[in-house]
């Protein structure tokens, strides 16, 4: 029986994916095969030797020491795209809040609680409503930085609202390129996008290369009065540079999902309490995707949406056994493992080998289940990290 230890509150829709006859799931599981988490920070946590995988029900994995886990042969999964629609809709809300003084109007109405005459209130609102006038987003240009699962949905939404869309993504994948509308104009660099956009929406992951991507130098290129929206990660934006640009009259508004003390109270900042993925549907989608990926890995050794190992998936031949192993991505390891199997008279039926950066992962289907001595011999091969027989 596989054991799944959960952290945080995981949607019941995801937990129901684990068949009771095959899985034990709970927050107090000992010797777990996998963790299923949301925001739980795993840095510095003692790991049980039994741990094979971690699934993050969400896209960001900054709460997981991904590289360290890879060196231990622990596969880390995330759920890209599962919360994309929720974030997309909040981006639209952010653009509208920044364009029309909806918040100011709401606050003004709520300040009129002393009034008792509906006619008098109606006349007053008719007189004062011009104070809250704004603009329209139709015909304006939205610049999207990062054209993955969320960025492409934001692009489609903006186009449907009559906006022009330009995009910049130096790491655009082939799959993402296929999803992207041909009406999105690709920009050669970030500076070009910033100079042409009335709105700029950020949708890149948090990593060393994107830390303070939006800084003083970048904001010098932004169109005067533009709205910057950050529903990605706080580290992508240098908040001090944003405040300086706002105070100088260069940046028009900053809308973000990551409040910081320095941002609070500024009249041109709209800060939300990290609610981009906080919808019932999003949490269900993330939990279901995470559970499915864990089950496929534990039961079949297949890897989908890992952030530290390559994507590897191979159908199983009935009646065979499966060996999987991870290793340092150096020459000769697979050959040595195949020699071990040949010396042990283990017949290979099918196999697949994939690599990603410094790590590689292998699936080998064999005619009959190898004994423990064969698995131990594979584990003893230099640069092999972890071996499983499924």
Active site positions, annotated: 233, 260, 274
CB atoms within 10 A of CB 317: 13
In angstroms, the CA 28 to CA 26 distance is 6
Rounded-to-integer distance, Cα 338 and Cα 335, Å: 5
Non-local CB neighbours of 21 within 8 Å, separated by 6+ positions: none
What lies within 8 Å, CB to CB, of 95 at 6+ separation is 137, 142, 199, 201, 227, 229, 255
Residue from 132, 268, 254 nearest 202 by CA: 254
If we measure between CA atoms, which residue out of 349, 331, 275, 221 comes closest to residue 58? 275
Nearest to 58 by CA among 89, 92, 86, 32: 86
Residue 6's DSSP bridge partners are: 36
Residue 47: closest CA among 8, 25, 73, 15: 73
Q: Which two tokens stand for residue 287?
A: 């939990």
Q: Quick one: how far is CA 168 from the chain centroid?
A: 18
d(Cα 308, Cα 56) in Å, to the nearest integer? 13
Tokens linked to 65? 């020491």
């Amino acid at each position: 029986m596989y054991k799944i230890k959960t952290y945080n509150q995981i949607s019941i829709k995801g937990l129901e994916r684990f068949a009771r006859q095959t899985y034990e799931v709970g927050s107090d599981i000992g010797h777990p095969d996998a963790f299923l988490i949301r925001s739980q920070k795993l840095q510095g946590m003692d790991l049980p030797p039994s741990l094979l995988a971690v699934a993050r029900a969400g896209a960001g994995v900054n709460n997981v020491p991904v590289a360290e886990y890879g060196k231990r042969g622990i596969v880390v999964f995330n759920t890209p795209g599962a919360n994309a629609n929720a974030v997309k809709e909040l981006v639209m809300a952010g653009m509208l809040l920044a364009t029309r003084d909806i918040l100011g109007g709401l606050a003004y109405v709520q300040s009129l609680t002393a009034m008792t005459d509906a006619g008098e209130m109606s006349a007053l609102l008719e007189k004062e409503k011009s104070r809250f006038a704004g603009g329209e987003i139709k015909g304006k240009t939205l610049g999207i930085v990062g054209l993955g699962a969320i960025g492409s949905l934001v692009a489609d939404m903006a186009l449907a609202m009559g906006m022009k869309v330009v995009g910049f993504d130096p790491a655009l994948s082939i799959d993402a390129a296929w999803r992207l509308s041909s009406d999105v104009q690709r920009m050669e660099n970030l500076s070009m996008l910033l100079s042409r956009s009335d709105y700029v929406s950020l949708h890149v992951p948090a990593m060393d290369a994107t830390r303070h991507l939006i800084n003083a130098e970048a904001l010098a290129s932004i169109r005067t009065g533009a709205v910057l929206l950050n529903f990605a990660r706080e580290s992508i934006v240098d908040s001090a540079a944003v405040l300086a640009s706002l105070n100088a009259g260069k940046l028009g508004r900053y809308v973000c999902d990551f409040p910081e003390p320095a941002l609070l109270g500024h009249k041109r900042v709209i800060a939300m309490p990290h609610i981009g993925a906080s919808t019932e549907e999003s949490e269900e989608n993330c939990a279901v995707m995470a559970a499915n990926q864990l089950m496929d890995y534990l039961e079949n050794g297949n890897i989908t949406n890992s952030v530290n190992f390559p994507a590897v998936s191979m159908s199983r031949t009935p009646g065979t056994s499966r060996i999987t192993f991870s290793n340092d991505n150096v020459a000769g390891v697979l050959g040595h493992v195949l020699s071990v199997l040949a010396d042990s008279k283990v017949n290979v039926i099918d196999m697949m080998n994939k690599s990603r950066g410094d790590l590689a992962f292998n699936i080998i289907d064999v005619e009959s289940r190898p004994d423990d001595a064969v698995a131990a011999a594979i584990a003893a091969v230099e640069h092999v990290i972890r071996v499983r027989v499924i």
